[in-house]
Structure 1
Amino acid sequence: MKLVVLGLSLSSSWGNGHATTYRALLKAFAARGHEVLFLERDVPWYAKQRDLADPDWCSLCFYADLDDLARFTPEIAEADAVIVGSYVPDGVAVAHFVQETAGLTAFYDIDTPVTLAKLARGDFEYLSPELVPSYDLYLSFTGGPTLARIEREYGSPAARALYCSVDADAYRPADVPKRWDLSYLGTYSPDRQPTLGRLLLEPARAHPHRRFVVAGPQYPGDIEWPDNVERIDHLPPSEHAAFYSASRWTLNVTRADMTAAGWSPSVRLFEAAACGTPIISDVWDGLDTLFEPGREIILAHRGGDVTAALDDADASALGKAARARALAAHTATHRAAELERHLLEAATLRRPADVEVA
């Protein structure tokens, strides 16, 4: 299969979770024998922070603007499938071009609840309502009831869950000393910050003898970090496994729209689990279908729940159970097989009823 993907970024993990999601998925998809071309808008903030310029498992090309994208018309027209991702710059115009040029088309929404909230308020930054029925397939970061809503309210012919995943070769336990009692890895988001404050900053203030760390860019300068909270502005993926392995516990915090929708696991959830790091997470519907609370993950409503977990002298059994679950169900190999099935299903649905499918 020849697959073309137009995504936010493959080359830079700075300030986004899309890059690591695409890297794991497309590397595994290529390993199944498929040919992948990734087209990325060349923007300065990613150009300055590239940590994957030349992947050996797919072709990565950059385009300057919509006019420049047109030079890839032959590749898009000849592809077996073309995927456009969420938050692609000028995504609506890109989608119109792709839908007019390509055969089978799909939208990969790595931000589904945020996207639907934007559509509801008339914000068509990268997707507009009339585009949804024209995509043969809507691949959603969010599962559960949201899939039926996308089909019912927006007319998608096929909405399917495609959760984030983990590259099991890159994310595994590392033999490093424990540096922190609790860590958090994530780009700043205003709607996540209250939960981060409740589940990490409050316990840090209450327990000055413990060590905490928050890694990720774009945090405002006016945040008052307790003295026992270390800050790391940007952590490249090559250092993620060591970061998680140096943490006695790590925290998973979900954006407000995704918490409300449920069934929206962050890529960081699977990456931390694959490293065998015990996870404390905020609470949302569907989480218990991914990891078993109390055995593979700890759920926290308030700071006291976090403190209780930190008081557990040895949580290694929980970390090992989470790693086993991640490797059994949430690797990029699993997701690549799911993507293949979804694309083949969509291709079958596009064919007239009287055409025999081989």
Structure 2
Amino acid sequence: MPPRSIAFFGSSLVSAYWNGAATYYRGVLSALHARGFAVTFYEPDAYDRQQHRDLAEDPGYARVVVYPNRPDALAPLLEEAAAAGVVVKASGVGVFDAELEEAVSTLTRADGSAPLRIFWDVDAPATLERMRADPDDPARACVPRYDAVFTYGGGPPVVAAYEALGARRCVPIYNAHDPATHRPAPAQERFACDLCFLGNRLPDREARVDAFFTEAARLAPAKKFLLGGSGWHDADLPENVHRLGHVGTGDHNALNASALCVLNISRASMAEVGFSPATRVFEAAAAGACLVTDAWVGIDTFFEPGVEILVAEDGAGVAAILADLRPERARDIGDAARARALRDHTYTQRAVTVEAQLDELAEHAS
């Protein structure tokens, strides 16, 4: 592989099924490819993701290697990956995470040289909490061995926490959007509603969905609510909530464009740490949607509250926003959010940051 090459071990690039990181991976890696990087993405055949691919063919910006869910599959992959200029182990691969973290953190080539070794944490609050709770967590020993830790959120608290664990460098690479993929679309009647929320049912999200989304629906029975994502089929929901099930990435623009407003609900760990906007925030903004978000520290780093985004403290706050929100104001907020997203929050801009960090690390290593 050429020096400007990246071998990336992640959950999945070709399937967003139970894989919220897919959009982030696609955005960052396609932007890095456009800047001259050759990308190989290694993903396990796990969790039925290959049976629910939303990219029928491998993308032009990356070579995708799908490997079997067996420990003996790792050694030849790691040997191949070591030839790259940069080797990344992302958090949450879901299969052999500890083994990959150990292997990548110490990866060398036959001649004794080493690629740049990066740990890319796509759920830093959860990873850090796990390491704090277990002094014997094997990931603790790996952190100082990586050349750098990248995270997709967390801001100053996460940087400080990783540095306290011995990270040589920790840099947030925030979520963003790809203007070619996330953009305004014609509204569709099937997605028409007053408020929609899109997110899979997860243990550390469900209580907050109930507090912000379900409670708002109970308090606003005359409004129509849409709930998208996997796992909600047996949830106890008010009659004015309509379940969509899994919503493919190809429908996200239409969903965001069809609702009066779109709700973001951070997972508990991310809300607590702050500075962790989910991909849906930038997707919805890029589609010109009027965003409503739960309150968390650092919102104003990304969007201006009251002008580019609306903020609610709880479900009652969401219901109050809906009671007062008129289509004209929703359009103004959506337009302002889109302008800000295009100005400050594209994956090209994130790739520029990644490239600068990798170039600096390579210079120091030479």
TM-score normalised to structure 1 length: 0.93
RMSD: 1.7
Q: CA deviation at 1:341?
A: 1.1
The aligned counterpart of 2:58 is 54
The aligned counterpart of 2:42 is 39
What letter is aligned with 1:171? H
Q: Which of 41-50 and 208-217 deviates more?
A: 41-50
Distance in 1 of aligned mates of 2:265 and 2:136: 26
The answer to whether the Cα contact below 8 Å between 1:13 and 1:237 also exists between their aligned partners in 2 is: yes
Count residues with an aligned counterpart: 348
Distance in 1 of aligned mates of 2:47 and 2:288: 36
The aligned counterpart of 2:171 is 160
What letter is aligned with 1:204? A
Superposed, which structure 2 residues align to 1:214-229 within 5 Å? 214-219=227-232, 221=234, 223-229=235-241
Runs in 1 of length 4+ with deviation above 4 angstroms?
Answer: none
Q: Secondary structure at the match of 1:192?
A: helix
Distance in 2 of aligned mates of 1:255 and 1:69: 32
**1:66-104: CA deviation from partner (whole Å, max 9, x where unpaired):** 322322344312111011100122122112222323421
Distance in 2 of aligned mates of 1:18 and 1:130: 25
Superposed, which structure 2 residues align to 1:112-151 within 5 Å? 112-122=124-134, 128-141=139-152, 142-151=154-163
What letter is aligned with 1:339? V
The aligned counterpart of 1:87 is 92
The answer to whether the Cα contact below 8 Å between 2:228 and 2:245 also exists between their aligned partners in 1 is: yes
Q: Which of 137-146 and 306-315 deviates more?
A: 306-315
Distance in 1 of aligned mates of 2:135 and 2:100: 16
The aligned counterpart of 2:356 is 341
TM-score normalised to structure 2 length: 0.91
Distance in 2 of aligned mates of 1:331 and 1:108: 19
- Counterpart check, 1:78 vs 2:91: no
Q: Secondary structure at the match of 1:224?
A: coil
Structure 1 unmatched runs, 5+: 352-358
Q: CA deviation at 1:124?
A: 7.8
The answer to whether the Cα contact below 8 Å between 1:158 and 1:346 also exists between their aligned partners in 2 is: no
**1:312-343: CA deviation from partner (whole Å, max 9, x where unpaired):** 11211111111111111111111111111111
Superposed, which structure 2 residues align to 1:180-195 within 5 Å? 180-195=193-208
The answer to whether the Cα contact below 8 Å between 1:213 and 1:230 also exists between their aligned partners in 2 is: yes
Distance in 2 of aligned mates of 1:271 and 1:326: 9
The answer to whether the Cα contact below 8 Å between 2:208 and 2:268 also exists between their aligned partners in 1 is: no
Q: CA deviation at 1:145?
A: 2.5
Distance in 1 of aligned mates of 2:257 and 2:198: 13
Q: 1:163 to 1:124 in 2, by over 3 A?
A: farther
The answer to whether the Cα contact below 8 Å between 2:43 and 2:64 also exists between their aligned partners in 1 is: yes
Q: 1:307 to 1:44 in 2, by over 3 A?
A: closer
Distance in 1 of aligned mates of 2:294 and 2:240: 22
Distance in 1 of aligned mates of 2:341 and 2:364: 32
- Counterpart check, 1:18 vs 2:21: yes
Percent identical residues: 37
Q: Secondary structure at the match of 1:115?
A: helix
The answer to whether the Cα contact below 8 Å between 1:171 and 1:271 also exists between their aligned partners in 2 is: yes
Structure 2 unmatched runs, 5+: 109-113
Distance in 2 of aligned mates of 1:262 and 1:205: 27
Distance in 2 of aligned mates of 1:62 and 1:123: 33
Q: CA deviation at 1:177?
A: 4.3
Q: Secondary structure at the match of 1:100?
A: coil
The answer to whether the Cα contact below 8 Å between 1:109 and 1:139 also exists between their aligned partners in 2 is: yes
Distance in 2 of aligned mates of 1:2 and 1:40: 17
